[in-house]
Amino acid sequence: MSLYESDGTSWIKISGVPTGVGLIGTLEFLIDGGGVAITTGVKGDMRIDFDCTILGWALMADATGSIVVDLWKDTLSAFPPTSGDSITASAKPTLSSANHNSDTTLTGWTTSITAGDVIRYNVSSVSTVQRVTLSLALQRAA
C-alpha cells in the first residue's frame, strides 16, 4: 500500500509503513524541479505519527549531479523547524557527482523520532539534479 501527496514540486510516498513494534518501513520524499535544476531552500514538511528510529537514508537522482539535503526536526507545537533543529550533523544526505548514494552509519545524527514530530526537508546545495528521492528507513517503536 502506498500513499502519495504533492504540492507541485515535492512528493511524499509512504509505503509499507508497518504497524508492529520493531518493523521497518520506508518513508520517501521526492523533490522535483519541474524540468529544471532543483533550487536551494525548504522543499516541504512531514509529520510523523508514530515513535520510530531512523536507520539509514538513500538518495536517488534522475541524473548524475550533486545535492545536499538537510533534515530539520521539531515538535508540531514548535513548528516550523529551523536550521538550528538539524538532525543530520555534518553527515547530511549527499550526492557528489553521482546519481545515487546511501548511508546507514548516520554519524552524529539524532535518529529518534517521537510521534507528532515534524521533519522539514531543506536543500542546502545543488547542481544539475532535476529530480531526487530521499528515502528514510524507519524502525517503528512502541
- pLDDT reported for residue 12: 47
Please tell me the total number of residues recorded for the chain in this structure.
142
The arithmetic mean of pLDDT across residues 60-76, rounded, is 97
Supply the CATH number for residue 73's domain.
2.60.120
Residue 20 CA: distances (Å) to CA of 13, 135, 140:
20, 20, 7
pLDDT score, position 23? 83
101-133: pLDDT as tens digits: 999 999 999 999 999 999 999 999 999 999 999
Question: What local confidence, expressed as pLDDT, does residue 9 receive?
Answer: 54
Which residue range is the domain that position 74 belongs to?
2-140
Task: Report the DSSP beta bridge partners of residue 122.
Answer: 42, 70
Give the chain's domain count: 1
Please, which contacts does 114-117 make with residues 24 or more away whose CB atoms are closer than 8 Å?
A: 114/51, 114/75, 115/48, 115/49, 115/50, 115/51, 116/47, 116/48, 116/49, 116/75, 116/76, 117/47, 117/48, 117/73, 117/74, 117/75, 117/76
% the chain with pLDDT above 70: 85
Whether the CB-CB separation of 39 and 29 falls below 8 Å is answered with no
Average pLDDT, the chain: 89
CA distance 64 to 48: 31
pLDDT of residue 1: 35
What's the whole-number mean pLDDT along residues 51-65? 97
